[in-house]
Amino acid sequence: MPSDVLPLHVDPGSATPVYLQVVQGLQRLIGQDALAEGTALPGERDLASRLGVSRVTVRQALRVLEEQGLLIRRQGSGTFVAPRRIEQPLSALTGFSEDMRSRGLTPGAHVLTLERTRPTPQEAMNLAVSPLSEVVRLRRLRTADGEPLAIETSTVPVAVVGDLTAERVEDRSLYGVMRERGHVPDRAMQHLRAREADEETAALLHVPRGTALLATERLTWGRGGTVLEYARALYRGDRYDFIVELK
């Protein structure tokens, strides 16, 4: 829907503050896809005039929506509907590809590095393998509908994935490769922390240097109790929310 025909109104007689009425109205339009991702909103002066409210009221409403991640303000360009954030449940063990397909998105993977080598001391400790054993270390840029979202580095014992090639994991799940070889991911433990994007990471994820990222570190076990994967990833903080259900 073009932003110049927004079905947005306020009720001066309502007990709900006017700025919250604006917030709720825009939330509804965005949630119903009446305002698509990337749509430019009218300027503050124009929006205030249409609604019959002050610019201060409009500015307050837009600030709330920006804090909620629903709008993006670009200096000199205006205010736009933000891309939908991806909510990743921490209670379910799924691979990136499976998760994106479940959301109706097309997953992609660009292999940055793939090597068969000996594990680092940290990798050997986490995978519970000998420092003299061989592992496959795979670093990929993960995308959804072509948009870069994360950088994943997975270290896996050779016995779990065999002679892995870049072609096998360019457009499919690493967990799928494991299952084909009889190794079914059963449970995992994941740590999260905040990090800032360095120059290389920022370039790969198409974000400014210093952007907030969600850094994860995960150990995945198979049904027999064998460690299948030690993985580290950097997710775009502007596109991802990790959620957990507490009971």
pLDDT digit string, tens, across residues 40-95: 888 888 888 888 888 999 888 888 888 777 888 877 778 888 777 665 655 566 66
pLDDT at 1 over 50: no
Q: Identify the pLDDT of residue 210.
A: 92
Q: Are strands 86-89 and 107-117 parallel, antiparallel or unpaired?
A: unpaired
Model confidence band, residue 2 (pLDDT cutoffs 50, 70, 90)? very low
Phi, psi (5° rounding) for residue 84? -65, 135
Q: Identify the pLDDT of residue 156.
A: 95
Distance CA 158, CA 36 (A): 45
CATH number for the domain whose boundaries are 86-243: 3.40.1410.10
DSSP code string of 58-92: HHHHHHHHHHTTSEEEETTTEEEEPPPPEEEETTS
238 CB neighbour count, 10 Å cutoff: 15
Q: Which fold has domain 3-81?
A: Arc Repressor Mutant, subunit A (1.10.10)
Neighbouring-strand partners of residue 108: 143
Q: Which of 153, 160, 137 is nearest to 201 (CA)?
A: 153
Query: What percent of the chain has a predicted confidence (pLDDT) above 70?
Result: 87
* Cα dihedral 43, 47, 50, 55 sign: negative
Domain ranges of the chain: 3-81, 86-243
Distance CA 11, CA 9 (A): 7
Of the listed ranges 97-111, 137-151, 214-228, the one predicted with least confidence: 97-111
Q: For the whole prediction, is pTM greater than 0.75?
A: no
